[in-house]
Structure 1
Amino acid sequence: MTETIEGHGGALALAALRQAGVRELFTLSGGHIFPFYDAAVQAGFPLYDVRHEQTAVFAAEAVAKLTRRPGVAALTAGPGVTNGISGLTSAYFNAVPVLVLGGRAPQFRWGSGSLQEIDHIPLVAPVTKVAKTVTDPAEIARDVKLALEASLTAHRGPSFLDFPLEVVFSTGEAVVEAPEVAVIEPDPDDVEKAAQLLRNAQRPVIVAGSDVYAGDAVEALRAAAEALGVPVFTNGMGRGALPPEHPLAFAKSRRAALDRADVVAVVGTPLDFRLGFGDFGSAQVVHIVDAPAQRAQHVSVAVSPAGDLRLILTAFAQGVRATHADWVGELRAVETAAAEKHAAEMAAETELIKPARVYGELRKVLARDAITIGDGGDFVSYAGRYLEPAQPGTWLDPGPYGCLGTGMGYAMGARVTHPDRQICVLMGDGASGFSLMDAESLVRQQLPVVIVVGNNGIWGLEKHPMRAVYGYDVAADLQPGLRYDTVVEALGGAGETVSDAAQLGPALGRAFDAGVPYLVNVLTDPADAYPRSANLA
């Protein structure tokens, strides 16, 4: 579908965005980008504004993650753009098709000291697929289309365009077209070799990550796992690809599986610190990626098929069927024992509330399609251990870049995308300092979410390891018992503090029934340290 549009730069850009299926724009007001606002108002296009630019980019990232289409933020020049760079970098590491539209000081006066005059391109180029200044109004629609195509083409990622003041305020005419996304065809020999390794293995394992969801390959993954009889573990947005009750879905026996496996197939996620950098002992490694550039260079692999993940996994499912019943049974026994241990931890009565108990109570009230958002260190690590997403596309975390402050932006993007679902943000008290002010943005725009803060009064991810290394810690304490709930109340929402585990369930019930942003401030045990085993480097 194409259309011819005449108007100022904002109207031309918006027309190109709408052709790509974009339905909302996240922003923080700035004079350099007024034409984008005018275009949205004239078209009845939804605008959502925030209190810090990083929240706008994180909201766009959440929309793009959940919908598999572009998410878009408009940021004013200078500090507006630089405030959004953490969000761009998060989208880069998470391979999310975000487009940031930046304002820019006027080109005709460049070098004279205009307000917020800085060249953004060298700053954002390392973390974007496209970084360009648009200098001709007639090229705006085309450049937006090309940036969106780049962002949507595997390996996906963010793009950035900025618009000098005189360009975005000028008028022009353009033919606007929808972006075209090329499909990367995998090498069939690589695909068959990988499938044969899994079929012939005695103890194969599949680890599936975010690109399986982003590439719309969830059903293909299930079919491949069932055809090959291989147990599946997941991380990132791969979580929920197989529901917890699926006979090949595993979560609690990963260490045992990776220690004993003879073939490990990692699909749609990098061989980074979360997976021991791809060191699986004597196992042969199959690394299945959505684009050749994603092949691991730091570890030897048996084969690395690269291309559209649906095509690769569908080919696995169509080949000769296999079964690994003894191996699956062995892991199921480990899984069952771990599940019993976790159940006891989630129900434990302790003087001070443990994070495990918080998640035990939360599991009782979360719907199967609830979207849970992790924004924190130890507290969110426990969420990864005890919460098991039942559906794909229901788990959002910062990903391998590990940037705190995503919570309110992700919550906004999730609520805009799914107005009828439960949205629950799991936030450490440290992380709450990055973005909690944007609870006001949620209140003002009538976007209710539940925020559960695990408040132990410390930077737990740093305090406990530093004490283990040095015998002391510094710069790792927060004010204990702070009332983050009253912050949200002051901003127009609601909340309460919980110090007794017996009150967790009722408090969570009130939170989900409130119809406004509601913060449950849970005072947790500062001595409780997550038993971390991953090496960061």
Structure 2
Amino acid sequence: DSSLTAILSQLGNHKTSMDPAWVTQLQAETKVKKAKLDERLQQNASAQPMNHWTALSAIKPVLESNPDVILVNEGANTLDYTRDAVNMSLPRHRIDCATWAIMGMGMGSCIGAAMATGKSVVAVEGDSAFGFSGMEFSTICRFKLPVTVVIFNNGGIYNGIGVNMSNDGDPAPTTLDVHARFDKMGDAFGAQTYYVTNPADLKNALSEAIASKKPCLIDVQLAADSGKESGHIGYLNPASLQNITV
């Protein structure tokens, strides 16, 4: 209190201000970026096998037609692209993993959001991100929460199809299985599950899952080469470290 009182006493009548053209410039830039995004979604809407943009072209209209659904989102490409693609029209209806090293917040956030609000929750998760807290899906099922978990399965991150960067023969932590069937995990916990390989089935599955208000898991099969290094984090390494293997 004393610190804030001291700060306030020095502010006096000072008021913040902004460039009056700033909002107008943002609105103009938004129109340009939206047009590019719409073009990308349209170009990829029917790609087979699906990539991230194909899946999002199916997810976007479903979520935007259910504005009261709380969206939880984590991943690398899955996080970045969903942030770009899916618009939110109500406040406090989006929870994501922010920036850098906060993976694993997905399932806990779903549980908290559903318990606190009673509203339907949809989590859009990268397969690697889901792995950090995926077993908490069992809690969602035990409490019969209205949570739908959508997993984008492209076999993990960045190492190339089937490439194991470990030198001792054991799988590296980033070596995932592009053919992993996350829906079978949902079956084990008694959830309503879906395995989808095309955007039409994904759109139908998500619509049905939200309407059910039951624990649901949708395994979205993407191409193994879908995605790229998110945030180009490898570029931040010193040149001398670029070629070191683990």
TM-score band by shorter chain is 0.7 to 0.9
Deviation at 1:496, TM superposition (A): 1.3
Q: Deviations over 1:259-280 (max 9, x none)?
A: xxxxxxxxxxxxxxxxxxxxxx
Per-residue deviation, residues 148-183 of structure 1 (Å, max 9, x unmatched) = xxxxx9xxxxxxxxxxxxxxxxxxxxxxxxxxx999
The one-character-per-residue Cα deviations of 1:32-70 (angstroms, maximum 9, x if unpaired) are: xxxxxxxxxxxxxxxxxxxxxxxxxxxxxxxxxxxxxxx
What do residues 179-226 of structure 1 show as CA deviations (whole Å, max 9, x unaligned)? Answer: xx999748537954x52xx33xxxxxxxxxxxxxxxxxxxxxxxxxxx
Instruction: Give the match for residue 154 of structure 2.
Output: 456
- TM-score, normalised to structure 1's length? 0.38
Which residue matches 1:527? Answer: 225
Structure whose CA Rg is larger: 1
Aligned equivalent of 1:365, options 53, 62, 72: 62
Q: 1:415 aligns with which of 114, 123, 135?
A: 114
From 19, 22, 38, the equivalent of 1:230 is 22
Unaligned runs of 5+ in 1: 1-152, 154-180, 200-227, 232-324
* Contact 1:450 1:511 (C-alpha < 8 Å) held by counterparts: yes
1:381 aligns with 2:99: no
Whole-Å separation in 1 of the counterparts to 2:201 and 2:139: 28
Q: What is the rounded CA distance, in whole Å, between the counterparts of 1:455 and 1:522 in structure 2?
A: 6
Distance, in Å, in 1 between the alignment partners of 2:210 and 2:7 is: 43
Give the share of equivalent positions with the same residue, in percent: 22
Q: 1:47-196 maps to which residues of 2 (within 5 A)?
A: 185=8, 188=11, 192=15, 195=17
Q: CA RMSD in A?
A: 3.1
Distance in 2 separating the partners of 1:374 and 1:391 = 16
Structure 1 counterpart of 2:54, one-letter code:
R
Aligned positions, number: 223
C-alpha separation in 2, matches of 1:518 and 1:495: 6
Relative CO higher for 1 or 2, CA cutoff 8 Å, sep ≥ 6?
2
Residue aligned with 1:497, SS: strand
Residue 400 (structure 1) aligned with residue 99 (structure 2): yes
Structure 1 segment 303-382 matched on structure 2, within 5 A: 325=24, 327=25, 330-345=28-43, 348-366=45-63, 367-382=66-81
Shift of 1:352: 0.7
Aligned to 1:162: none
- The corresponding residue for 2:203 is 505
Alpha-carbon distance in structure 1 between the residues aligned to 2:186 and 2:206: 16
AA aligned opposite 1:365: V
Aligned residues of 2:41 and 2:56 also touching (Cα < 8 A): no
The CA distance in 2 between the partners of 1:353 and 1:417, in whole Å, is: 35
- Closer/same/farther in 2, CA of residues 329 and 522 from structure 1, 3 Å limit: closer
CA distance in 2, matches of 1:187, 1:360: 52
Distance change in 2, residues 1:521/1:332 (3 Å) = closer
- CA–CA separation in structure 2 for the residues paired with 1:516 and 1:447: 6
Instruction: Please state whether the residue corresponding to 2:225 is helix, strand or coil.
Output: coil
CA distance in 1, matches of 2:31, 2:211: 39
Residues in 1 aligned to 2:139 and 2:38: alpha-carbon distance in whole angstroms? 41
Q: Conserved in 1, the CA contact under 8 Å of 2:127 and 2:155?
A: yes
**What is the TM-score of this pair, normalised by structure 2?**
0.77
Alpha-carbon separation, structure 2, partners of 1:329 and 1:439: 39
Q: Displacement of 1:501 after TM fit?
A: 2.4
Q: Is the 2:155–2:176 Cα contact (8 Å) retained in structure 1?
A: yes
Note the C-alpha offset of 1:492: 1.9
Deviations 1:318-348 (A, max 9, x none): xxxxxxx5x4575255235324324424x52
**C-alpha distance in 1 between matches for 2:6 and 2:212:** 45
User: After superposition, what is the alpha-carbon deviation per residue over 1:355-375, rounded to whole angstroms, capped at 9, x for unaligned?
Assistant: 112222112222122211112
User: Partners of 1:508 and 1:487 in 2: how far apart?
Assistant: 18
Q: 2:101 corresponds to which letter in structure 1?
A: G
Taking structure 1 as reference, are residues 388 and 184 closer, same or farther at Cα in structure 2, changes over 3 Å only?
farther
1:496 to 2:188 alignment = no
* Distance across 2 between alignment mates of 1:449 and 1:182: 44
Distance 1:432 1:333, change over 3 A: closer
Distance 1:188 1:408, change over 3 A: same
Distance 1:401 1:512, change over 3 A: same
Q: How far apart in 2 are the matches of 1:183 and 1:338? A: 48
CA distance in 2: counterparts of 1:480 and 1:516, whole angstroms: 27
Instruction: Output the CA distance in 1 between the equivalents of 2:134 and 2:181.
Output: 12
